[in-house]
Structure 1
Amino acid sequence: MSTNTSVFSSTSFFQSDLWLFTIYMFATYEIVFWLCNGFLIYIEMFDIPSIDQYRIQKHKKKIRFQPDMVHLMIKRTIYHQMSLVFLGPILYYIFNYVCHVDIQGPRPPWSTILFQIGLFIVIQDTIFFWSHYLLHTPWLYKNIHKKHHVYKQPTGVTAILDDPIEGIINQIAVWFTLVLLKETHIFTLCLWVAIKLYQIVMAHSGYNFPYITTQYWLPDLMPGALAHDYHHQHSNSNYGSFFSIWDQLMGTHRLSTSKKQIN
């Protein structure tokens, strides 16, 4: 009797919404994060002229020749990866407090998914611009945001390396849209994680890649790595996330190199 109860409890646990939510979100994050960064680490370790031509800061030596910076990135990345283990269950309860997250139901229509993803992008971009803009005011920059700007020559993993307070602010920007939704699906959330993670890693890549980046297709609207690399070099301008709209309206839009480089 006790054996059957144990098996039943184990089965129920692994079929619980909390467990499935945590697995789906964690797996999506890790797969996208390490696929993108695995590629960036590979081209950092090996000199490939056909790819190196797209480096934005060609005048600086590659990061692999900066041991102190490499050590710092490895240390902070390990801490960040460890924190993800606890983040899933926390997000599950927060998400279901502000709206209902369907974990095991059928995938919603693509019209619903695309509408919600559009909301996520627009709202995240707006909140991120203004919070990022404020983080560059003197006191907040010195005490919080400067930890992220130690990376003057960004690469993919630096996208998620920041002060814990800034990390919370960024998470609010990423997930605030849920407050406006009555219901969403785990598929939509995982798709949003993949899109956002790809965007932020590519923006910090240090490369002006053709074809696979937003600045290749929409350089005036979504300048990506061109804009964000300039931001890390100069610690000003280009505060937006996906778009340059707010930067253009506020007069803070700058590019570090010619758009011709991506043609």
Structure 2
Amino acid sequence: MSILYDSIFSSTSFFQSDAWIFSVYIIVTYEIVFWLCNSFLIYIELFDISSIDQYRIQKHKKKLRFQPDIIRLMIQQTIHNQISFVFLTPSLYYIFNYFGHVDIQGVRPLWSTILFQIGLFILSEDTIFFWTHYLLHTPWLYKHIHKKHHVYKQPTGVTAVLSDPIEGIVTQFAVWFMPVLLKETHIFTLCLWVTIRVYQTVIAHSGYDLPYISTQYWLPELMPGALAHDFHHQHGKWSYGSFFSIWDQLMGTHRLSTSKTATK
């Protein structure tokens, strides 16, 4: 009886704790950005909208429709991704506080501090992502782990979550390494980081060279976004970067997809 009481009491304490608040903020931020972006992409995949379809990158190929096997795999992997994220996020709070401290209820930091930290997060994630992604394309790792992510050569937003659990861990390590490494972070900064990272990932897998709202529209060579990642999915190699093309250019793996480059 006492064991049951302790279990209930512990659960109640959790739902009143900073760990609970942290989890709610991170999960809600993730879900809002993920589903807003993907709802738009799913809609334009289901309905032919000429004003948007003109920006489809792989216009030289017949448009890939949501066939039953595609829908089944996407639903399965999306559910798995969502459940994993919900259950693992609370542990992230304790990891943060083991290495440093995450401020949940304090005053929001100065914008200069927020932007500086976000800049560090992006640079760190981009570097770790490039090299781990590069390694995942070596023959054995590609065959046994990364190939699952390359099932579809015409990606759309939700295909970003198609991955082996090991790859998922590697990806999360890249995302959270620098935030955890910093001794002091704020929940507002972390939510902003989640917003940027999820948006960038979904848009990179969108299959569209969308104007104004994508990084490649403003900085096509430095931050090629969907143009680089769509090429990567078409060919199964090259363009391994996340945010930037710097490492790809240094390693000679920088390639851009159709839409802009193929017509030049």
After TM superposition, is the score higher than 0.5? yes
Distance 1:136 1:106 in 2: 44
Gaps of 5+ in 2: 1-8
Matched, 1:121 2:122: yes
What root-mean-square deviation, in Å, do the aligned CA atoms of Structure 1 and Structure 2 show?
A: 1.9
Match of 1:64, SS state, is: coil
| Contact 2:58–2:259 under 8 Å retained in 1 | no
Match of 2:74, SS state, is: helix
Distance 2:112 2:206 in 1: 32
Distance 1:256 1:12 in 2: 51
How has the CA–CA distance of structure 1 residues 175 and 9 changed in structure 2, closer, same or farther, with 3 Å as cutoff?
closer
Deviates more, 1:156-165 or 1:68-77: 68-77
* 2:152 aligned residue: 151
Residue deviations 1:136-165, cap 9 Å, x none? Answer: 000100000001011211000111220000
* 2:168 aligned residue: 167
Gaps of 5+ in 1: 1-7
Distance 2:180 2:27 in 1: 22
| Contact 2:37–2:202 under 8 Å retained in 1 | yes
* 1:102 aligned residue: 103
* 2:113 aligned residue: 112
Distance 1:144 1:93 in 2: 28
State the shift of 1:178 in Å.
Answer: 2.7
How has the CA–CA distance of structure 1 residues 65 and 171 changed in structure 2, closer, same or farther, with 3 Å as cutoff?
closer
| Contact 1:213–1:224 under 8 Å retained in 2 | yes
Match of 2:150, SS state, is: coil
* 2:242 aligned residue: 241
State the shift of 1:60 in Å.
Answer: 3.2
| Residue identity matched to 1:225 | A
* 1:60 aligned residue: 61
How has the CA–CA distance of structure 1 residues 70 and 63 changed in structure 2, closer, same or farther, with 3 Å as cutoff?
farther
* 1:5 aligned residue: none
Match of 1:63, SS state, is: coil
Distance 2:11 2:236 in 1: 51
| Residue identity matched to 2:82 | Q
State the shift of 1:64 in Å.
Answer: 2.8
State the shift of 1:172 in Å.
Answer: 0.6
| Contact 2:146–2:163 under 8 Å retained in 1 | yes
| Residue identity matched to 1:224 | G
State the shift of 1:14 in Å.
Answer: 4.0
